[in-house]
């Protein structure tokens, strides 16, 4: 699938011509803080936090945000937002709840075109921005979720070199493995045709792919995904917080084509 560049990262053009075959080595890291140090060095990392940082960042760029500055530390996020030239919005959460003094939380429903178009966003979250920081040794860092899984798969094929290592970095929830991130990893592998393309998959990647395909056998995939989310630590937490409306948004498979790409020189996602 061919790729064209835009202000919002990578977007699929719809072509199915992948060009010469490229063998890739897929690795699934079920929780980012269990990754060996610098394991992604030189490869491509896809940071996945379906509930909700990845879904929110993808949505924000799709809705016209100029760029996103992801920050792991709370105080650093406040300082950065204060120092940047306006217009700037400060977004994020701890424990799923919007922080005092922040313009936005971490719900994709908050990041509407009317709110974020043309804005620089500084975002800090409990797990997602920390996962991105953990993947910083990678040659390329992309943001993936269920909502953009086919576009992510196409972007990987476009950016990859032969024999590249592809690291699916799941954020998890407070150190726990979460079904939604593994399902997104499997969904990306499925869209990339990884098992049929002559690629190698580590055991965790094979299990993620199998888990997604078991769920995809449902007659109503989005509903099946939401059901899985509700059973996960992250999803159950959102339900308890009264934020269950975010679950179907995160389960809306292939609804967006933006693939945020991290730019080390400017420390932002575009």
For residues 34-48, average pLDDT: 95
- Asked if 206 and 189 count as a contact pair (C-beta separation under 8 A), the reply is no
The reported pLDDT for the residue numbered 115 is 98
Rounded Cα distance, 250 and 108, in Å: 8
CB-based burial, 111-139: b 16+ in 10 Å, e otherwise: beeebbeebbbbbbbbbbbbbbebbebbb
Supply 265's token pair: 């020189």
Distances (CA, A) of 34 to 14, 85, 140, 148: 36, 37, 20, 25
Q: Quote the number of domains for the chain.
A: 1
SS3 label, residue 258? coil
CATH number for the domain that contains residue 212: 3.90.1560.10
The reported pLDDT for the residue numbered 152 is 98
pLDDT band for position 22 (cuts 50, 70, 90) = confident
The reported pLDDT for the residue numbered 20 is 54
Residue 228 within a domain:
yes
The reported pLDDT for the residue numbered 9 is 45
Query: Using one digit for the tens of pLDDT, what is the confidence trace for 251-264?
Result: 999 999 999 999 99
CA 169 to chain centre: 9
Residue 10 within a domain:
no
Residue 65 within a domain:
yes
Query: Using one digit for the tens of pLDDT, what is the confidence trace for 64-118?
Result: 999 999 999 999 999 999 999 999 999 999 999 999 999 999 999 999 999 999 9
Residue carrying structure tokens 């179907």: 248
Extract the runs of DSSP E, i.e. beta strands, from 182-261: 200-201
Does pLDDT of 8 surpass 60? no
How big is the chain by its Cα radius of gyration, in Å? Answer: 17
pLDDT band for position 173 (cuts 50, 70, 90) = very high
Q: Which residue range(s) make up the domain with 224?
A: 25-261
Residue 166 within a domain:
yes
Rounded Cα distance, 256 and 145, in Å: 10
Residue 72 within a domain:
yes
DSSP string, 36-65: PTTTTTTSEEEEE-TTTHHHHHHHHHHTT-
Query: Using one digit for the tens of pLDDT, what is the confidence trace for 121-160?
Result: 999 999 999 999 999 999 999 999 999 999 999 999 999 9
Residue 42 within a domain:
yes
Residue 16 within a domain:
no
For residue 88, the surrounding DSSP H or E stretch is strand 88-94
pLDDT band for position 17 (cuts 50, 70, 90) = very low
3-state helix, strand, coil in the chain (%, to 5): 35, 20, 40
Residue 3 within a domain:
no
Rounded Cα distance, 267 and 69, in Å: 6
């Amino acid at each position: 699938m061919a790729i064209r560049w835009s202000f919002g990262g990578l977007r699929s053009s719809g072509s199915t011509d992948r060009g010469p075959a490229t063998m890739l080595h897929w690795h699934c890291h079920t929780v980012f803080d269990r990754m060996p140090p610098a394991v992604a060095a030189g490869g491509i990392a896809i940071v996945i936090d379906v509930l909700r940082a990845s879904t929110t960042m993808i949505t924000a760029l799709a809705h016209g945000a100029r760029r996103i500055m992801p920050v792991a530390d709370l105080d650093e996020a406040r300082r950065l937002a204060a120092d940047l030239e306006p217009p700037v919005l400060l977004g994020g959460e701890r424990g799923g709840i919007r922080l005092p003094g922040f313009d936005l939380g971490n719900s994709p429903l908050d990041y509407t075109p009317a709110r974020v178009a043309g804005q620089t966003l500084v975002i800090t979250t409990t797990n997602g921005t920390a996962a991105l920081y953990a993947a910083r040794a990678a040659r390329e860092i992309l943001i993936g979720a269920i909502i953009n899984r086919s576009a992510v798969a196409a972007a990987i094929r476009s950016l990859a070199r032969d024999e590249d290592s592809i690291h699916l970095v799941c954020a998890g929830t407070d150190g726990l493995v979460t079904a939604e991130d593994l399902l997104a990893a499997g969904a990306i592998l499925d869209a990339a045709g990884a098992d049929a393309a002559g690629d190698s998959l580590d055991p965790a990647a094979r299990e993620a792919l199998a888990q997604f395909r078991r769920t995809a056998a449902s007659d109503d995939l989005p509903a099946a995904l939401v059901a899985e989310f509700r059973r996960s630590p992250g999803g159950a937490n959102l339900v308890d917080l009264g934020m269950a409306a975010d679950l179907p948004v995160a389960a809306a498979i292939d609804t967006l084509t933006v693939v945020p790409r991290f730019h080390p020189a400017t420390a932002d996602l575009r």
